[in-house]
Structure 1
Amino acid sequence: MSEHPSSLSQQSCEACRWDAPHASESEMASWQKQLPEWQIVERDGIMQLERSYRFRNFKQALAFTNSVGEIAEEAGHHPALLTEWGKVTVTWWSHEMKGLHKNDFILAARTDEVAS
Structure 2
Amino acid sequence: MTEQLSIAKCEACHADAPKVSDQELPELLAQIPDWVPEVRDGIMMLERVYTFKNYKLAWEFANKVSALAEEEFHHPAILLEWGKVVVTWWSHSIKGLHRNDFICAAKTDKLL
- Alignment match, 1:11: 8
2:110 aligns to what SS in structure 1? helix
1:87 maps onto 2:84 in alignment? yes
Give the paired residue count: 112
- Alignment match, 1:34: 31
Measure, in 2, the Cα distance between the counterparts of 1:11 and 1:28: 17
- Alignment match, 1:24: 21
1:44 maps onto 2:41 in alignment? yes
**Cα distance, 1:5 vs structure 2:** 2.3
- Paired-residue identity, %: 54
**Cα distance, 1:28 vs structure 2:** 1.4
Gaps of 5+ in 2: none
Give the aligned residue type for 1:100.
L
- Alignment match, 2:57: 60
- Alignment match, 2:104: 107
Measure, in 1, the Cα distance between the counterparts of 2:56 and 2:63: 11
Gaps of 5+ in 1: none
CA RMSD in angstroms, aligned pairs only: 0.6
2:48 aligns to what SS in structure 1? strand
Name the TM-score, length of structure 2 as normaliser: 0.98
Give the aligned residue type for 1:90.
V
Name the TM-score, length of structure 1 as normaliser: 0.94
